[in-house]
Amino acid sequence: MTAPESTHEVTRLLEALQAGAEGASDQLAPLVYHELHALAVHFMRREREDHTLQPTALVSEAYMRLMGQQQVSWQNRAHFYGIAAQAMRRILVDHARRARAAKREGGERVTLDESVADHSERSVDLLALDDALNRLAVALPRQARVVELRFFSGLDIDETAEVLGISPATVKRDWTFAKAFLQREMDMR
């Protein structure tokens, strides 16, 4: 976990980055690399063993996307990692779409977290999960955001509540509903 002084420095650098300070991105990179890499490893564990994308490449591409965003108002460190998880998800989905187009057969396979898969390890199509999550986002954007923060970012209930500005009890209810919604949507596919 990040040391408290590092946490404050990350927040300070995010504010500087938002203000357009020269070199803020270069100073931020080494402070967030370890956690971004851990997040990428978390994502890649769900991918098939022979996946061509490596965690380091995923971190690099996600960081470049994050630094290329002009209209982001970084709230705090947790918000930054939440957006980073979204970027990694998009990269993996884009990669899966390219692979599917190249092979013209099934998509990339990932293991859906036990908590989302009703306590049974199952392999699901990353594109099916993305499609289901996109449908959830149209109907219930907050619940979709809870999934992104919990499942993709690895935030706990309290961290998710803080990022979204809602109570932990609301996060728990949203998480329970979203898991059932996603499972039903993917089962129907």
27-62 per-position pLDDT tens digit: 999 999 998 998 888 877 777 666 677 888 889 999
Question: Would you say residue 2 has pLDDT above 60?
Answer: no
Domain ranges in the chain are 4-188
CB atoms within 10 A of CB 42: 17
Question: Would you say residue 17 has pLDDT above 90?
Answer: no
**Lowest-pLDDT range of 46-55, 77-86, 100-109, 135-144:** 100-109
What's the pTM? 0.67
123 vs 78 pLDDT, higher one: 78
pLDDT band at 136 (very low <50, low <70, confident <90, very high): very high
Question: Would you say residue 162 has pLDDT above 80?
Answer: yes
Question: Would you say residue 104 has pLDDT above 60?
Answer: no
Name the nearest CA neighbour of 109 among 87, 130, 124, 96.
124
What is the per-residue pLDDT for 28? 92
pLDDT band at 8 (very low <50, low <70, confident <90, very high): confident
Chain mean pLDDT for the chain = 80
Contact present, 74 and 19 (Cβ < 8 Å): no
Name the nearest CA neighbour of 18 among 85, 91, 98, 75.
75
